[in-house]
Chains A and B, each alone.
Chain A
Amino acid sequence: MRQTTAQSPTPALGEWRRRRLIAAGFDETLAARLTRDGIVDLHELLVLLDRGCPPELAARILAPLDTPAAPS
């Protein structure tokens, strides 16, 4: 089975992901950042939200360590 590989999404896929995160409660800037590079696992983000984690904290938890934190 294929390992999740980081590759920039197509524009249509990126837009779908961005809209999905906005619908889940992420603000537009954060949603755009998270979906830009095809790195973050949206399913894991949404699982964290289901458990009561605020969007910004979920993003911080799942963003790679070498990605600068979003400005607050």
Chain B
Amino acid sequence: MRRPAVDTVRPVASEPAPRVAPASPAGTLDAESRRWLEALSGTGHARDEAIGRLHELLLRAARFEVSRRRLGLPYLRGGDHDDLAQQSADDALVAVLAKLADFRGESRFTTWVYKFALYEAAVKLRRRAWQDRELPLEPDSWPDIASRALSPEEHAAESELLGALRDAINDALSAHQREVLVAITLNDVPIDVLAERLNTTRGALYKTLHDARRKLRARLAAGGLDLTSNDAGHPR
């Protein structure tokens, strides 16, 4: 039996842990979620039937994720797409059944299980997309965001900030921190692709990325550079 999908990641100790609002009180599961849990916690034919229905849900989610990323994998044939979806659903099923006791009703049961299937499919697809590619661990070139449309003052400010960032990346970071930062943020290497190459976990790499970013911020702040206008990429 495969190991459950669990990432034993150390938390980022340098920042105070955000306080998460308390979970829903026991006994507040919605009716559908309760039915799922009862069926999957049962025995015999009823449980087997529930597992079958659960696998169908997971497969539906996995197919969605494969379809969503289809354009990024043009060399995969239709059969390969469904193989990936099936593998993802199978792996997600193992993970869900292993963690069933952890479901606390803070979300709908279906949302909770979909999360596992989408994650498994996304990781497999990202790794497949990169499996024959060399990982760019150095910046090929700095993104050119200066523009003739900028005023001379704006251009100067841009150049100063980018120059300071380049210097900080070259001087303030350790070798491995620099590689992780550049690979993930400048060269768009997916973090789980890099994690597989290095035989480590997403969380361990993200901690290194977090540490590198903290050093960059400290270096720029020490140089008196304004970082207040860097807000971008809200999740919604």
Q: How distant is B228 from chain A, measured CB to nearest CB, in Å?
A: 31
Residue B177, interface by CB 8 Å: yes
Residues of A within 8 A of B201 (CB): 1, 3-4
Q: How distant is A68 from chain B, measured CB to nearest CB, in Å?
A: 20
Q: How distant is B150 from chain A, measured CB to nearest CB, in Å?
A: 37
Contact B8 A3 (CB under 8 A): yes
Contact B200 A43 (CB under 8 A): yes
Which B residues lie at the A interface, using CB under 8 A?
3-9, 119, 123, 131-132, 135, 174-177, 195-205, 208
Task: Knowing A2-B123, A43-B204, say if A17 contacts B9 (CB, 8 Å).
Answer: no
Contact A3 B6 (CB under 8 A): yes
Known: A2-B5, A2-B123. 6 other contacts (CB 8 A): A1-B202, A2-B6, A20-B197, A39-B199, A46-B198, A49-B175
Residues of B within 8 A of A44 (CB): 200, 204
Question: What's the Cα separation between A5 and B91 when bound, in Å?
Answer: 14
Residues of A within 8 A of B199 (CB): 4, 9, 17, 38-43
Which A residues lie at the B interface, using CB under 8 A?
1-5, 9, 12-13, 16-17, 20, 24, 38-44, 46-47, 49-51
Among residues of A, the one whose C-beta sits closest to the C-beta of B201 is: A4
Partner of A42, one of B6, B177, B200, B203: B200
Q: List 11 interface pairs A-B (beta carbons < 8 Å), by A numbering.
A: A3-B4, A3-B8, A4-B201, A13-B197, A41-B200, A42-B197, A42-B199, A43-B204, A43-B208, A49-B175, A51-B174
Among residues of A, the one whose C-beta sits closest to the C-beta of B132 is: A12
Residues of A within 8 A of B205 (CB): 43
Question: What's the Cα separation between A24 and B176 when bound, in Å?
Answer: 9
Give the 7 A-B CB pairs with smallest separation, nearest first: A1-B7, A43-B200, A50-B174, A46-B176, A42-B198, A43-B198, A2-B5
Contact B208 A47 (CB under 8 A): yes
Contact B123 A50 (CB under 8 A): no
Task: Knowing A1-B9, A41-B199, A43-B204, say if A50 contacts B3 (CB, 8 Å).
Answer: no
Contact B197 A47 (CB under 8 A): no
Residues of A within 8 A of B119 (CB): 1
Question: What's the Cα separation between A8 and B177 when bound, in Å?
Answer: 26
Question: What's the Cα separation between A3 and B131 when bound, in Å?
Answer: 20
Residues of B within 8 A of A51 (CB): 174
Among residues of A, the one whose C-beta sits closest to the C-beta of B180 is: A43
Which among B9, B205, B208 has the highest number of chain A CB atoms within 10 Å? B208
Contact B200 A4 (CB under 8 A): yes
Among residues of A, the one whose C-beta sits closest to the C-beta of B135 is: A16
Question: What's the Cα separation between A20 and B175 when bound, in Å?
Answer: 12
Question: What's the Cα separation between A46 and B200 when bound, in Å?
Answer: 11
Residues of A within 8 A of B203 (CB): 1
Q: How distant is A58 from chain B, measured CB to nearest CB, in Å?
A: 12
